Amino acid sequence: MAVRPILTAPDPRLKAVSTEVETVDEALRALIDDMAESMYAADGIGLAAIQIGVPKRVIVMDLDQKSGKKNPRAFVNPRIVWASEETATFEEGCLSVPEIWEDVARPAHIRAEYLDREGVQQSLEADGLLATCLQHEMDHLEGVLFIDHISKLKRSMALRKLAKAKRLKETG
Ligand code: GNR
Ligand code: NI
């Protein structure tokens, strides 16, 4: 297992559309384990494979890791099969857009289908933070970041803040 570096915007790889996983095998489980380790190391609650540069439709998530007990969940080839008309607004952040937090409205309730770590088909109904996080991660699979859902002005301010932080990090 290894912690891998997380790509940050405006890295063009974050805009890639990830491809379907064909078989859930040991190599994929090794990727899932690296993703979980990278997510925990960065104090995130979710991570899409593209955030560590792998364009595959794989997500890991652990919403209650703050409780101390690790309970990572893997979602392979997830699909939203139903979404409510009703929306819910959460303040979102992203490990690939560090230190930026903005409100995003998304369907409040969703039903999703996916393969788990063993390659078994699963179905899930979600609301609250789980629904938000799953949609945020599934956006990554399409090359979409949460800042793509906010106003153009807020997005350009966020990207400028990010560029400045990167510059400061480089010059020390
Ligand atoms: O760690 C994360 N927190 C978070 C908070 C609100 C809504 C979405 C998220 S996901 C984010 C980790 C991440 O960037 N996943 O892609
Ligand atoms: Ni993210």
Model-wide pTM > 0.95: yes
Confidence of residue 171 (pLDDT cuts 50, 70, 90): confident
Domains, the chain, ordered by start: 12-171 (3.90.45.10)
Contacting residues for 165 by C-beta, under 8 A, at least 6 apart:
98, 99
- Residue 51 CA: nearest ligand 1 atom is 16
Q: Which ligand is nearest to the CA of 129?
A: 1
The confidence score (pLDDT) of residue 160 equals: 95
Model confidence pLDDT, tens digit, residues 38-94:
999 999 999 999 999 999 999 999 998 766 789 999 999 999 999 999 999 999 999
Taking the CB of residue 86, how many other CB atoms lie within 10 A of it?
A: 9
Q: What is the DSSP letter of 81?
A: E
Is 137 noted as a catalytic residue in this protein? yes
**Residue among 75, 83, 94 nearest 159 (CA):** 94
Query: Average pLDDT of 99-117?
Result: 97
CA of 25 to the centre of ligand 1 (A): 27
Q: Which ligand is nearest to the CA of 41?
A: 1
Distance CA(116)–CA(13), nearest Å, equals 25
- Residue 94 CA: nearest ligand 1 atom is 14
Model confidence pLDDT, tens digit, residues 134-164:
999 999 999 999 999 999 999 999 999 999 9
Q: What is the DSSP letter of 10?
A: T
Amino acid sitting at position 100: I
Confidence of residue 172 (pLDDT cuts 50, 70, 90): confident
Distance in Å from the first CA to the final CA of the chain: 30
Residue 1 has pLDDT above 90, yes or no: no
Q: Which residue has the tokens 């949609």?
A: 135
Specify whether the CB–CB gap between 46 and 141 falls below 8 A.
Answer: no
Residues within a 6 A CB radius of ligand 1: 44-48, 51, 90, 92-96, 132-133, 136-137, 140
